[in-house]
Amino acid sequence: MNPTIVSFVYLVAGILFILGIKGMTKPKTAVRGNTLSALGMLMAVVVTLLDSSIMNYNLIIAGVLVGGIIGATMALKIQMTSMPQMVALLNGFGGGASLTIALAEYYSKLGTAPASFADLLTPVAATAANFGQGPEGTIALVSIGLTVLIGAVTLTGSFVAFAKLQELMKKSYGLPGGPTGNAIFLLAALAAVVALVLNPGNTVAIVSIVGLALLLGLFLVMPIGGADMPVVIALLNSYSGIAAALAGFILGNTVLIVAGSLVGTSGLILTQIMCVAMNRSLANVLFGKMAEGGETVDADEIYAGKVTSAQPDEVAMMLEMAERVVIVPGYGMAMAQAQHAVRELADAMEARGTEVEYGIHPVAGRMPGHMNVLLAEAEVPYDKLVEMDRINPTFEDTDVVIIIGANDVTNPMARESEGSPIYGMPILNVDKAKNVVVIKRSLSPGFAGLPNPLFAMDHTLMVYGDGKKAVIEMTTALSQA
Amino acid sequence: MEILILLLALFVLSLFLGVELITKVPPTLHTPLMSGTNAVSGITLVGALLAAGSDSSPLLVNGLGFIAVTLATINVVGGYLVTNRMLAMFKRK
């Protein structure tokens, strides 16, 4: 195939990716955008397959079959509540693909044919000229080193993120020395990149980068707790894109660079949005410390004798009179698989003429937009899913707020108690509503480990128990009223 | 060297374009955005195909290429399908 035609098709593919993401700016055009993007992918793959240097299709067919079956099975079977796990795995596979491409490119340019694993470590007499003319050879080597580094970190980091989300790994582990330990690993890996660039035949260097980066990925994510996963997933998403763009520099491939940088920026922007929504810096999330609270707050002191609990049918009586209700979902709704039950409760209220909206905090759930997807699955129209900034001014005119499985994002200490670890975090001002109903298993604290004064307020009712069961009981009581 | 500069220019301009595009995506669609960009990053399949299919390379290179093709295909197929599944839920009324 003529290289000019290939480049032209890559350009068209790049345009289709851009139009695809542009389509995502509105729910109505999003499906079409996704289709355009997939079309771009198909074109890029087909034109590459016609490349004259591809002589042997056996491995390609095998890989596409295996990957296609795994990918399609995952995509069609996965539950919406488990979407963070799916995205974590996809991030990891993306990093793994860039990692293996960079390694393949390195060993093919090296011009040796390693016969055993020991040969992988045998130094080879090679110069930067093996990888390209003049500065291009050096740039290719730097790109190989960095792609391997970022790809490997993304691979293992994402698998740890998956294990945490799937609750296979419940505890947090870290290197002794915390951030310092990680920094030492990172510097060692970067030193190996430099060694590789200085002596391109130094196969020990490239294998060291792989090993160090795989470990670094583990140690980076292992200390991070579940509720910080939205940031971690978004960041790893960005890494997988950056690795792809760097792989583009190795291969001199334009479409990899365009697509990789779009993904890289997407992940970074989402990371930043999540950090702002938690009022924490990226370093603070990554190196795992919630700010140390000034005065320790005693949960018993806040709750003692002030918490009012209620049964679902009592809440239903309150809902009968309400003109406007806001439902605030959190990760607990996902855990209880209560999204359909919540929609049915909303239907029952709307049938009585009550106005119902949903208030969505940016970090509710385990990944950006998690709650929206769950509620969309339950067929809640997306115009009822209201962002924090738009829902907050409406709480004063709201008769009842129903909080299901959310805690820290409603904690008024973030607004009022200076010196509290979460002070300054933007929250949903649910306490401004006339009545607040909290559906929760117990008074146990959320991820921040803080008591929530909201639970002890005069106008707050606690409904203890399983979220789904409680909501269904409310719906039943309301429909019988 | 000229080619490098061109690639670098492409990279930088794509970053700026990315910022402009992504900041306009509403929070409602952030989850499908992430799975959709996962699919797009499966574009590494293009590089993987070249590594897996070259006849003149050592077996190791073809083997790595096979792994890369498999992983990138999971991203492409899984990413687009699951994104489509989610977006279809947002579309219906």
Span A58-69, pLDDT tens digits:
899 999 999 999
pLDDT average, residue stretch A437-452:
84
With an 8 Å Cβ cutoff, are B3 and A25 in contact?
Answer: no
Confidence label for A379 from pLDDT (cuts 50, 70 and 90): very high
Where is pLDDT greater, at A411 or A53? A411
**Minimal Cβ distance to B29: which of A74, A253, A369:** A369
Report CB contact under 8 Å: A135, B7.
no
Instruction: Place A292 in a pLDDT band, splitting at 50, 70 and 90.
Output: very low
20-49 of B, contacting A, C-beta below 8 A? 21-49
Structure-token pair, residue A73: 């099975």
pLDDT greater than 90 at residue A112:
no
What pLDDT was estimated at residue A479? 87
Of A56, A240, A258, the CB nearest to B14: A258
Compute the count of residue pairs across chains A and B with CB atoms less than 8 Å apart: 372
Indicate the pTM of the whole model.
Answer: 0.90
Residue A205: predicted pLDDT? 93
pLDDT in tens, B14-51: 999 999 999 999 999 999 999 999 999 999 999 999 88
Residue A52 has pLDDT above 80, yes or no: no
* Residue range A267-279, pLDDT digits in tens: 999 999 999 888 8
- Residue A294: count other Cβ atoms within 10 Å of its Cβ: 12
The verdict on A385 touching B (C-beta cutoff 8 Å) is yes
CB proximity A136 to B under 8 Å: yes
Q: Which of B17, B44, B87 lies nearest to residue A34, judging by beta carbons?
A: B87
How would residue A177 be classed by pLDDT, with cut points 50, 70 and 90? low
The two most distant CA atoms of chain B are separated, in Å, by 55
Looking at per-residue pLDDT, the higher value among A55 and A369 belongs to A369
**What pLDDT is stored for residue A392 in this prediction?**
94
The whole-number pLDDT of residue A293 equals 45
Average pLDDT of the residues in A135-163: 94
Residue A294 has pLDDT above 60, yes or no: no
* pLDDT of residue A46 exceeding 50: yes
Q: What is the mean pLDDT of residues B46-71?
A: 88
* Alpha carbon of B37: minimum distance to chain A alpha carbons (Å): 5
Query: Scanning every residue of chain B, which has its alpha carbon at the shortest distance from the alpha carbon of A24?
Result: B25
pLDDT score for A408: 87
Q: Would the pLDDT of A456 be above 70?
A: yes
Question: Between these two residues, A143 and A296, which has the higher pLDDT value?
Answer: A143
Supply the mean pLDDT for chain A. 89
pLDDT confidence tier of residue A175, bands split at 50, 70 and 90: low
Average pLDDT value for chain B: 91
Top-confidence residue, A449 or B38: B38
- The more confidently predicted of residues A179 and B52 is B52
Kindly state the percentage of chain B with pLDDT values over 70.
Answer: 98
Higher pLDDT, A116 or A37: A37
How much is the ipTM here? 0.95
pLDDT tens column, A409-432? 999 988 888 878 788 889 999 999
pLDDT value at A291 more than 60: no
Q: Is the pLDDT of residue A184 over 50?
A: yes
Is 70 exceeded by the pLDDT of residue B93?
Answer: no
A-interface mutation test, from B6, B40, B77, most A Cβ less than 10 A away: B40
pLDDT category, A179, cuts 50, 70, 90?
Answer: confident
Residues 6+ apart with CB under 8 A from A408: A227, A414, A422, A425, A446, A447, A448, A450, A452
- From the list A228, A298, A389, A408, the catalytic residue is A408
Share of chain A above pLDDT 90, in %: 59
Read off the pLDDT of each residue in A201-219 and give the average, rounded to a whole number. 93
Taking CA atoms, what residue in A is nearest to B37? A263
